[in-house]
A and B are shown apart, each in its own frame.
Chain A
Amino acid sequence: MTDSKTTNSNTLTESKNMKPTQLTTRQKVELSLSRRRAAETRFRMYGMASVFFGMLCLVVLFTDIASKGTAAFKQTSLKTEIFLDSSYLGLTKDSKVDEVRFANFEGLIKRQFAKNFKPSGRKETRELFKLLANPEVLDTTISIELLMDDDVDQWFKHDRDLSTDETNDRLSTKQLSWLNNWVEEGRLDTHFNTLFFTNGDSREPELAGIHGAIKGTLLTLMVTLLLSFPIGVAAAIYLEEFAPRNRMTEIVEININNLAAVPSIIFGLLGMAIFINVFGVSRSTPLLGGLVLTLMTLPTIIISARAAIKSVPPSIREAAYGLGASKNQVVFHHVLPLAMPGMLTGTILGMAQALGETAPLLMIGMVAFVVDVPGFINDPSTVLPVQIFLWSDSPERAFMERTSGAILVLLSFLVLMNTTAVILRRRLERRW
């Protein structure tokens, strides 16, 4: 290598001293070489810089979200003993289930602590109630973990080491002194936040979870998939294989391409105007969301399915026609199986797009505050991106944390879907 380089530079210096007309072809080529190499190197640098920039943005985004969001998967709770006072609860060993259910457990817990302090009751009450299904525990002391309020949670996770003046004003000095006591006794601790995955939305950040949103998302996507895949593939097959080449088909084709470029919020308005007002589909339901997202995903699926059909080699069609296969047989025995990987990839990408879609769902009322986890497609519900949108609007610090946590969950869904797309394509791809 070094040898050839020195000879190159020798010829270069020689040729620079000569007039251009005196140069041989070889010398001219060598003169242009360095320019060409420089151009190539420059282009490579640009390419690497853009890739690097893209990766950097991605890394910054992910670390930011992850650093904020991972804390949402932890929740602070207080280990405490509680005396199940039968006289306070007004229960005896023979009490009926209903009596137990409405007994004042919350009061019992509150009695344990100073007034200003607010442990939120729902979960603990339920647990105590479960415990009392076994009446033997009445009038004994049991150990339970009390879920801490979001302010305590934030203080414990983030501000514990700061001096009192620096911390937020959401906790009083008195509260802080209690908390510090508990920390010293080792009774405050964090554990995995299961509630985040098992609860629906709530006004209390420590109780708010994404179960409702995840279920709503899955139901909505199910409706979208069940409608858009068959309709999209059927439309693509018809347009590609059966439709006569005339003006009408051309207009349909152009409009499908136009639909793909329509801003998604328009589909929301359309859904509101048609599905709600004309067909009377109830608002805020996964059924309605799925219908609207179907409208939005259809063009994507049709376009990718048509591209997949077009990429089936004509030689395969000819072979089948040459054997006397009918049009239907050619399409369903040969074209469709070969186009399937491409169609599935397009569909999954469309689904991923639908998964992250927020704007049209805001229009059809999926932005409502829904506490209950939806059971089926006609129950009011929300979806993950809308849940993120809702939480990001809340002033509580703990909701910010949960916003990032929900984003992490949404992103992992996206990654999962795209990975499935890649794997499916590899699996189904047949070589010819």
Chain B
Amino acid sequence: MSTSMQHIENHITTGIPLSQNPKLAARNVDVFYGDKQAIFDVSLDIGANEVIALIGPSGCGKSTFLRTLNRMNDTIDICKIKGEILLDDENIYGADVDTVPLRARVGMVFQKPNPFPKSIYDNVAYGPRIHGLAQSRVELDETVEKSLQRAGLWNEVKDRLHAPGTGLSGGQQQRLCIARTIAVDPEVILMDEPCSALDPIATAKIEELIDELREKYTIAIVTHSMQQAARVSQRTAYFHLGQLIEVNPTKQVFTTPQHELTEAYITGRFG
């Protein structure tokens, strides 16, 4: 076990990291926090309209990798990134790329539900408002309703749209955050352990929702629950100590993993 936890020099990812129809493509990505390297030479495609699950033991860099995909790591001063991430064949780390439109295209849902301390309506309307997506009050109302419906929250909150979003239950708050993200109509949604703070019933609802959202969006989800990865994703990527070990169709990863580290992880020998 001690050998299996060690870092492997010059590792090449096992399986099929590339995709036929990539929406997002990471090429030779290294991430550094100060002097410490957190991600080693990761190349991975996220195909259009697929759900890809990023799994791995704690501290393996899967969340860090996810946050490089919409440059959320820019807010951390000491974080430096090498390599390229292409969104529709355009490098998002290019010299003249503005993070504002980028994050409107690549939205994010966080581990802990984090609604703004505003009303439910204002939470969902915030994105469309700052990007000027709605021309009129009526249009904004429609966007809010549509987003809440797609997040499966409309029926629960339609009578109290102006109640504070922080007054909802944990699962409802997380669905509110998803509604807030899809109100901007992004192309890709990044989810960082969206169910880790939720109970099984709320989790089931979110998983159902992810399945429906796939029709319209490309989704990358970081999860600690292997059952969840198996349920919602089409492809699974296994990270280990900052390296991408294996990428394969989800079914294959959980039945016949190619790499010994993947096998050790999914059979519960560590992590």
Known contacts A322-B70, A322-B181, A324-B131; is-contact A432 B166 (Cβ 8 Å): yes
Contacts of B117 in A (CB 8 A): 316, 338, 430-432
| Docked complex Cα distance between A313 and B113 (Å) | 12
Q: How far is the CA of A317 from the CA of B108 in the complex (A)?
A: 13
Distance, CA A191 to CA B117, complexed state (A): 55
Assembled-state Cα–Cα distance A432/B126 (Å): 17
A319 B116 Cβ-Cβ under 8 A: yes
Q: Could you tell me if A315 and B112 are in contact, using CB atoms closer than 8 angstroms? A: yes
How far, in whole Å, are A326 and B126 apart by their CA atoms in the complex?
13
**Which stretch, B30-38, B98-106, B217-225, touches the partner chain A?**
B98-106
Contact mask B76-118 → A, CB, 8 Å, 1/0?
0100000000000000000000011111100111101011110
Q: How far is the CA of A245 from the CA of B34 in the complex (A)?
A: 14
Within 8 A of A (CB), among B168-191: 177, 180-181, 184
Partner of B110, one of A245, A319, A333: A319
Query: Complex formed: what's the CA distance from A316 to B181 in Å?
Result: 14
Main DSSP-derived SS at the A contact region? helix
Is A322 a contact of B110 with CB atoms below 8 Å? yes
Q: Decide if A321 touches B75 in the complex (CB within 8 Å).
A: yes
Q: Enumerate chain A residues within 8 angstroms of B184, measured Cβ to Cβ.
A: 323-324
Q: A323-B107, A323-B127, A432-B117 are in contact. Are A318 and B101 (CB under 8 A)?
A: no
A323, B114: Cβ atoms closer than 8 Å: no
> In the bound complex, do residue A323 and residue B166 qualify as a contact, i.e. CB atoms below 8 Å apart?
no
B130 in contact (CB, < 8 A): yes
**Range of interface residues on chain B?**
20 to 34
| CB closest residue in chain B, given A313 | B114
Looking at chain B's contact residues, the main secondary structure is: helix
Q: Is the CB of B166 within 8 A of A431?
A: yes
Chain A 209-249 against B: per-residue CB contact (8 Å), 1 yes, 0 no?
A: 00000000000000000000000000000000000010000
Say yes or no for B72: interface residue by CB 8 A criterion.
yes
Q: B180 is contacted by which of A323, A329, A333, A338 (Cβ under 8 Å)?
A: A323
Chain A residues 304 to 340 lying within 8 A of chain B, measured CB to CB, are: 313, 315-326, 329, 333-334, 338
Expressed in whole angstroms, the Cα–Cα distance for A1 and B131 within the complex equals: 67
B70 touches A245 (CB 8 A): no
Q: Report B-chain residues with C-beta under 8 Å of the C-beta of A321.
A: 72, 75, 99, 103
What are the residues of chain A within 8 A of B70 when measuring CB–CB?
A: 322
Q: Check if A323 sits within 8 Å of B110, measured CB to CB.
A: no
Are B100 and A326 interface neighbours, CB within 8 A? yes
Q: Is the CB of B101 within 8 A of A324?
A: yes
- 24 A-B residue pairs with Cβ-Cβ distance under 8 Å, sorted by A, are A318-B72, A318-B75, A318-B110, A319-B114, A319-B115, A319-B177, A320-B126, A321-B103, A322-B70, A322-B72, A322-B109, A323-B104, A323-B180, A324-B100, A324-B103, A324-B107, A324-B130, A325-B130, A333-B126, A338-B117, A431-B117, A431-B166, A432-B116, A432-B117
Give the interface of A toward B (CB within 8 A): 245, 313, 315-326, 329, 333-334, 338, 430-432
Given A323-B180, A431-B166, 4 new contacts (CB under 8 A): A324-B101, A325-B126, A326-B130, A334-B116
